[in-house]
Amino acid sequence: MNIKEFTKGLFKENPTFIIMLGMCPTLGVTTQVVNALGMGAAVIFVLTFSNILISALKKIIPDCVRIPCYIVVIACFVSIVEMVMHAYLPSVFNALGVYLPLVVVNCIILGRAEAFANKNSVGDSALDGLGMGLGFTMSLTLIALIREVIGAGTITLIPIGSFSGTITIPGLSANPVRVMSLAAGALLLMGLLKAFFQYLQNRKEAR
């Protein structure tokens, strides 16, 4: 097992900002921080387990039907997450809506199965899944945080005890820049962040 397989997903090969995979849910669910966290948790679970299983079955799965096999495995895990969330975390399930079943066709998961899990050991694949999932969650949370603060003037987290789950930012919540919570704002912000991370990378390489 190589710990590098875990850390590469966080920054160096971050799925959202560097590999640019899984843009659809990234733009779709990042209207509130809590949605980003829920989506991230679902992706971490599905990605880790599908990577482990696909890596373990890599010698059995025939090359010509590998994609259908991957999709069946991934869809199975997504359905499990969906049913468990529906039963035990109904509020997160409701908030994620249509994006949860769409995890099946999330390119990160199929991409990692195809590019990593079917060539590497089970341990490395598990680390890769965890790292990529965590990197995806971090990017999603960052985008959601910026969009929610500017677009709605609030930060929505999970309600615990007396804490209602929503932090309101004075000033901004009365006059939010509403475009940020719409699809156009997501694209604008995504472009700006991508440019920023590209700048950081270029500067690092120039040194």
Contact 180, 31 (CB under 8 A): no
Distance CA 170, CA 146 (A): 15
Q: What is the largest CA-CA distance in the chain?
A: 59
Q: Which is nearer to another protein, 10 or 71 (CB)?
A: 71
Q: How far is the CB of 74 from another protein (least distance, A)?
A: 10
Nearer to another protein, 10 or 122 (CB): 122
Helix extents (H) in 57-121 = 66-88, 90-96, 107-112
Say how many residues touch another protein, by CB under 8 A. Answer: 35
Q: Contact with another protein (CB under 8 A): which of 10, 52, 57, 188? A: 57
Taking the complex as a whole, how short is the minimal distance between the CB of residue 72 and another protein, in angstroms? Answer: 5
Report the distance separating Cα 152 and Cα 66, nearest Å.
44
Asked whether the beta carbons of 120 and 8 are under 8 A apart, the reply is no
Rounded distance, CA 14 to CA 119, Å? 20
Site string (100-139) toward another protein, x via CB under 8 A? ----------------------------------------
Task: Tell whether residue 181 is a contact of another protein (CB under 8 A).
Answer: yes
26 lies in the site for another protein, by CB under 8 A: no
- Residue number with CB closer to another protein (175 or 202): 175
The secondary structure of residue 165, as a DSSP letter, is S
The answer to whether 174 contacts another protein (rule: CB under 8 A) is no
Can you read off the two tokens belonging to residue 115? 């590019």
Find the helix or strand (DSSP H, E) in which 156 lies.
strand 154-156
Residue ranges that bind another protein, judged by CB under 8 A: 28-29, 31-32, 35, 57, 60-62, 64-65, 68-69, 72-73, 75-76, 79-80, 83-84, 86-88, 90, 94-99, 152, 178, 181-182
